[in-house]
Amino acid sequence: MVMQYPAPANENDAKDDIVRAAAELFMNYGYSATSIDAIAEKLGATKGRIYHYYRSKSQIFFDIQRAAMTRLFEEVDPIARARLQPAEKLPLMAKAHLSLLIRDMPIQKVAVQGLEKYLFEAEGFRHAKTLAEINQLRDDYEQLFAEVIDAGTREGVFVKGSPRILTKPFFGAMNWATVWYRPRRTQSEDDIEMICSSLVDFAMRGLLVDKGGLHEAGG
Amino acid sequence: MVMQYPAPANENDAKDDIVRAAAELFMNYGYSATSIDAIAEKLGATKGRIYHYYRSKSQIFFDIQRAAMTRLFEEVDPIARARLQPAEKLPLMAKAHLSLLIRDMPIQKVAVQGLEKYLFEAEGFRHAKTLAEINQLRDDYEQLFAEVIDAGTREGVFVKGSPRILTKPFFGAMNWATVWYRPRRTQSEDDIEMICSSLVDFAMRGLLVDKGGLHEAGG
DNA sequence: GGAATTACATACCTATGAGTATGGTTCTTC
DNA sequence: GAAGAACCATACTCATAGGTATGTAATTCC
């Protein structure tokens, strides 16, 4: 029988295909309820292909986390390094963050919600190192936002409060989209932009101190 | 062998014990990764006990949802019915909502995050009726908040925008606690109150229009 | 152009876990 | 106090799914 493999060019692409397929199933059914066979079927292949690139199901999960954090950093870190005031910089970061969340929902949802992460923690030392690595990435990423929030607080443009406790609802307003958002066919690119802007605006108002601006009366 | 059953008084209490134990495991490990045996072990019993009260694992899951929504309604609905201005009523509702979330985390987390709900949707008609019932409860509950937000918007005390899209980040700021919050031994009741207040304040600022209050100059 | 390696498919092993069948013990009811 | 019901443990069935072992076509390398 003549078998032709689509040939994903190189190993990285092949793994990326697996990661994408797995993330989509993890997002909908959870990690445990998703079988390797189901992932393979989504790729039009069998288990053999997956186990050729990954030694276990958990390794796929960890690669999803790494992929998600890598992409978030790529989008947000450059903005975080820009020379801008906190009140200007933060919404740009938030916009980039949220845009990626929505556009890359399967992978990002698995990462930000940390689906069933306690599964691996319970396994003890086996994945301790990998888990520490992932947590470090997540902490570093949160830190990008926490620092800007802290700076804004000290400048007096953001409300007072520990950056730790302010960062949580800030992310919450945006990340909660991974729980409620469902893509619609009737939704254009502009619609998505509108939603993103609304959520970012909400999150920013949560931080900004009342500026006492004159009532820009009525429209 | 003399066997003594703790005898949970009546059937409702017995089911409630099961629901609590199951919720705690679902919260940490997810629905699929939690076995009936594990739930039984947490109760110091075996499967026999659980299958005496529940016909299937999924029925436990649905009972968790119902229990969560029932409690939320009990706490929030009375406040929603009170004769108060939106700007006064909403933070009280939010406080009650969040307090219950944190105090009843296992059950509430399973409910608000809808863990692996797609599992049951994929099963087609089998649980269609129950799923419709649960979704209805959730929608009704969200509606309590959406109406107050809508009223506030029309009065001009809350920012303009569809209540639909404003409700999401409002819940997000609070419900995200089910993702990041972990109880600490060093945390007193007052600490929890502080966290709740901070999150509610954040969420309210996300809605309130800039009042132009005079700078209550600096602390 | 033959050998080794890559890139899978197929077949198989095994543990787990949902659900059932059955049996025994306590409680209730008459 | 006997019969039934309620309550629960134990033993079993069976499907699923993670992982492995093996076979085989394509590719690469010498």
pLDDT digits (tens, 9 = 90+) for A32-73: 999 999 999 999 999 999 999 999 999 999 999 999 999 999
The verdict on residue A9 lying in a domain is no
Range name among A19-28, B122-131, B208-217 with the lowest pLDDT average:
B208-217
pLDDT tens figures, B74-128: 999 999 999 999 999 999 999 999 999 999 999 999 999 988 889 998 876 789 9
- C-alpha span between B20 and B108 (Å, rounded): 11
pLDDT tens figures, B10-47: 778 899 999 999 999 999 999 999 999 999 999 999 99
Our CA-based measurement puts residue A214 at a distance from the nearest CA of chain B, in whole angstroms, of 6
The verdict on residue B139 lying in a domain is yes
Angle between helix axes B57-81 and B86-103 (nearest 10 degrees) is 150
The verdict on residue B41 lying in a domain is no
Q: How confident is the model at residue B59 (pLDDT cuts 50, 70, 90)?
A: very high
Does residue A202 carry a pLDDT above 60? yes
- Closest listed residue to residue B58, CA positions, set B42, B34, B38: B34
The verdict on residue A48 lying in a domain is no
Mean pLDDT over A139-157 rounds to: 97
Number of structural domains, chain A?
1
- C-alpha span between B203 and A203 (Å, rounded): 8
Nearest to B33 among A119, A165, A171 (CB): A119
pLDDT tens figures, A63-115: 999 999 999 999 999 999 999 999 999 999 999 999 999 999 999 999 999 88
The verdict on residue A10 lying in a domain is no
List helix spans (H) across B159-212: 163-175, 177-180, 189-207
| Residue-averaged pLDDT of chain A | 91
- At A21, the amino acid letter reads A
Our CA-based measurement puts residue B29 at a distance from the nearest CA of chain A, in whole angstroms, of 5
Beta-carbon separation of A176 and B168 below 8 A:
yes
Residues 6 or more apart whose CB falls under 8 angstroms from that of A185 comprise none
Domain region containing B174: 62-207
The verdict on residue A1 lying in a domain is no
Q: How confident is the model at residue B9 (pLDDT cuts 50, 70, 90)?
A: low
| CATH number of B128's domain | 1.10.357.10
Yes or no: say if A15 and A8 are a contact pair by the CB < 8 Å rule: no
For nucleotide D20, give the residue with the nearest CA to its C1'.
A51
Residues 6 or more apart whose CB falls under 8 angstroms from that of B154 comprise none
Q: How confident is the model at residue B213 (pLDDT cuts 50, 70, 90)?
A: low
The verdict on residue B5 lying in a domain is no
Share of chain A above pLDDT 90, in %: 82
Q: What is the pLDDT of residue B135?
A: 95
The verdict on residue A212 lying in a domain is no
Q: What is the pLDDT of residue A5?
A: 45
Q: How confident is the model at residue A143 (pLDDT cuts 50, 70, 90)?
A: very high
Share of chain A above pLDDT 70, in %: 92
Nearest to B172 among A28, A122, A176 (CB): A176
Q: What is the pLDDT of residue A199?
A: 98
Q: What is the pLDDT of residue A108?
A: 98
Which nucleotide is closest, CA of A8 to its C1'?
C7
